Amino acid sequence: MTVYLDKQPVRLLDSSLIASGGEGSAYKVGKDVYKIYHKPLDLTFLDKMRELSALVSLPNVAVPERPVFDKEGRLVGYVMRQITDPLALPLLFTTSYLKRNGITIDSLTRLSSRMADTVAKIHDAKILVVDMNEFNLLVKNVGTLEPFFIDVDSYQTPSFPATAIMPSIQDFATKDFNELTDWYSFGVLAFQLFVGIHPYKGGVTGFADDDIAARCKAHVSVLNPKTTYPRAAVRPFDSIPRGYLAWFQAMFEGGERLPPPADPGALSVRAPDATIVSAQLNILKEWASSSEILDLRRIAGRTILSTRGGVQMDGSTMAKGIEVGTGHVFPLMGDRGMIAVFIRDGYVWAKLDTNGGELRSDVPAEKLFFVDDRLYSIYRGVVQEVGATTLGGNTQLITYTPMNVLKNASKVMTGVVYMDIFGRPNFLIPYGFKLSTIFHSADTDGYKIIDAFYMNGTLIVVGSNNGRYDRFTFKFINGSGLALVDHDVERDVLLEEVNATVLSNGMLVEVVAGDLRLSARSSVQKKIVKDVGLPAGASLRNDGAKVYYILGHEAFSITLASHR
């Protein structure tokens, strides 16, 4: 596609695609992003751009800066500043992501305050955000969490009323849009940042579970003691700073509409989290490490731990493993045993033992990831399996069949590479040695994908559609290729990262909203063990036959308890 900026042609390649939505598509060109609409715009949009230019001094607001035309001279989009390496805001709603990345309540409080400061400055310019949903903000971690406001073209300006808002952040108790409805929408986002659940989710007698509008009008939120919700998956309300908690109570329970407090207030004094003992499970601590444990898996018949700085084989001490230093280290089995593989200066490196030398390969990499027991690298849209061999007595890293993905519209998730291809989620699944497939299901079209997981014949996808989160499960068998044999979708679920593992026999084990769920290979029918009480942040793993969870510096095996 060729468009024109300042009367100069600009070629937009499919490889430059970042993402697509209902209105249009975004392309990365140099340091700019081009938003191109599916249909040409009325030229009055140029007047709206002039009114939005009042925000151009705000460095974290992606204002439409210059118009873009097609060859017929029709207005088809605009150029805005690029936000590099952004984080999707909904991930910060999930306890597992916060725990894994060391994000504290203080960090979330500062982020909320920065968001509120920006909204206030937008209001100072006589402009309203209106559709302040979680997908219209991005976050960058630059030592602190910094918010960036996007989709600014939908804002309400003095001459151009807003026309759309996502139901999940709409103030149903107010008929029009104003500064206070913006603060209501901000409050919905801030509440989810602090505790991980929408203020009008959960169950209340007399209301349908998904009827946010009725709950909003009646002022019956999750803060109401009559509301039920999965407490194991929601952070305690005393983790909300006191100033914000009083504001949330006044707004969501009292029906008041007012700006957030200038002072968030201190945290309530919390007792330390109690050690959780589950009557449903037998839990046994198997291994401990001096470094944080990032992964546990079975490779070539050995149980291997990856830690922040090294690898350990069969739970041995680090002295018997391979120590690299810092960062995520991946194990690889070569002809001569275990190798520690890691990225440094943009290339894949290997280390054979703690005291030995380090090898820099010729394999460039932005990221390494596992699919089952195979290691892969990704670099500029090319995915390759990484292996090790011995040539002339020397160990070398090698790569196998390259697989191409859209470099700007792709994201490595757990065991799978997700691609947004013009609003259609596609998933690259490397399901065997030199074997891969690109899977697409029409069921997920139009969804914004938050998380995805693939292991040993099971793909789980969590996505959002119009403010509602749904969870898809796809089961495959590997015959002459990867063939779909069963699938399921759960609607309107609590947003969580996928926490699952798949044993060598195909058994899926997952934790969802505090429940342990089991399903056999090629079937989505589940056995559910309610409220198993795994600690927050515990991440499931397996060694082929046994299920574990890792948490901090420790790894625990779990089995179902026998009850007579």
- Give me the DSSP letters along 45-106: HHHHHHHHGGGTT-TTB----EEEE-TT--EEEEEEE---S-EEGGGGG-HHHHHHTT--HH
- Cα of 515 vs its chain's centroid, Å: 21
Residue ranges and CATH numbers for the domains of the chain are 2-81 (3.30.200), 87-253 (1.10.510.10)
3-state secondary structure of 129: coil
What confidence tens digit (pLDDT) does each residue in 253-277 have?
999 999 999 988 876 655 445 445 5
Residue located via tokens 């957030």:
260
> What pLDDT sits at residue 269?
52
> What pLDDT sits at residue 531?
85
Q: Are 353 and 320 in contact (CB under 8 A)?
A: no
What confidence tens digit (pLDDT) does each residue in 540-557 have?
999 988 999 999 999 999
DSSP code per residue over 458-471? EEEEEEEETTEEEE
> What pLDDT sits at residue 320?
45
DSSP label at 252? I
Spans of the chain, pLDDT less than 50 = 271-272, 274-275, 317-320, 564
Side chain identity at 289, as an amino acid letter?
A: S
Q: Is the dihedral of CA 200, 203, 204, 209 positive or negative?
A: positive
Strand partners, 410: 419
* Distance in angstroms (rounded) separating the CA atoms of residues 165 and 175: 13
3-state secondary structure of 456: coil
> What pLDDT sits at residue 321?
54
The three-point CA angle 117-120-122 to 5° equals 110
> What pLDDT sits at residue 467?
87
Beta-carbon neighbour count of residue 401 at 10 Å?
Answer: 12
> What pLDDT sits at residue 267?
67
* Distance in angstroms (rounded) separating the CA atoms of residues 207 and 212: 9
Residue located via tokens 């089991």:
518
> What pLDDT sits at residue 274?
47
3-state secondary structure of 250: helix
pTM score of the predicted model = 0.93
The three-point CA angle 265-513-204 to 5° equals 75
> What pLDDT sits at residue 318?
37
